[in-house]
């Protein structure tokens, strides 16, 4: 899904095999987008009125990639702090989920195989995430097709 605060941003459904990046949108909320859709900021001469206009306008170039609950994602380069805190490895296969149905709250999250959820808002900006499958039912077949087997992909830490 797209978190509640991304509803006013153009969006599309993510595709299996696609690589996405955690991006902070103009609303202040983190979400997923294709690195190819990420706006390239070109420095321009800035006048007072140009800064006022930029402050009150949302860029139309941002496009959120929505992921349905149950989708299987591969998180890579998980920061050491999160690895230690959640007792996970640097690469993890996760299930996209929603932790609440409450209005006005961030609810998009990933669920690790050890049962620990993590809000998308807690992921690091710029972190890459690969969409393995849009449903948990097809995840094993998708991993096999993409990588020739899932066994060597997921590094977990046992404590």
Q: What is the pLDDT along the chain (159 residues), one digit of tens a residue?
A: 566 556 678 888 999 999 999 998 888 889 999 988 755 444 455 678 777 776 666 555 678 899 999 999 999 999 999 999 999 999 999 999 988 777 767 788 999 999 999 999 999 999 999 999 998 665 555 555 555 554 444 444 443
List of residues 6+ apart from 45 with CB closer than 8 A? none
- Domain positions in the chain are 4-147
What is the DSSP pairing of strand 64-66 with strand 11-13?
parallel
Q: What is the tally of helices (H) and strands (E) in the chain?
A: 3, 9
């Amino acid at each position: 899904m797209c978190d509640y605060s991304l509803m006013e941003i153009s969006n599309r459904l993510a595709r299996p095999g696609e690589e996405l990046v955690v991006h902070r949108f103009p609303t202040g909320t983190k979400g997923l987008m294709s690195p190819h859709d990420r706006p390239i900021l070109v420095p321009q001469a800035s006048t007072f009125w140009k800064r006022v206009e930029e402050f009150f306008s949302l860029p139309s170039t941002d496009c959120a990639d929505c992921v349905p609950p149950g989708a299987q994602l591969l998180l890579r380069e998980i920061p050491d702090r999160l690895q230690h805190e959640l007792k996970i490895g640097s690469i993890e296969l996760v299930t996209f989920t929603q932790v609440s149905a409450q209005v006005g709250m961030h609810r998009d999250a990933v669920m690790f195989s050890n049962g620990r959820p993590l809000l998308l808002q807690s992921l690091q900006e710029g972190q890459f995430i690969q969409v393995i499958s849009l449903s948990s039912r097809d995840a094993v077949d998708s991993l096999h097709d993409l990588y020739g087997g899932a066994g060597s992909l997921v590094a977990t830490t046992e404590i």
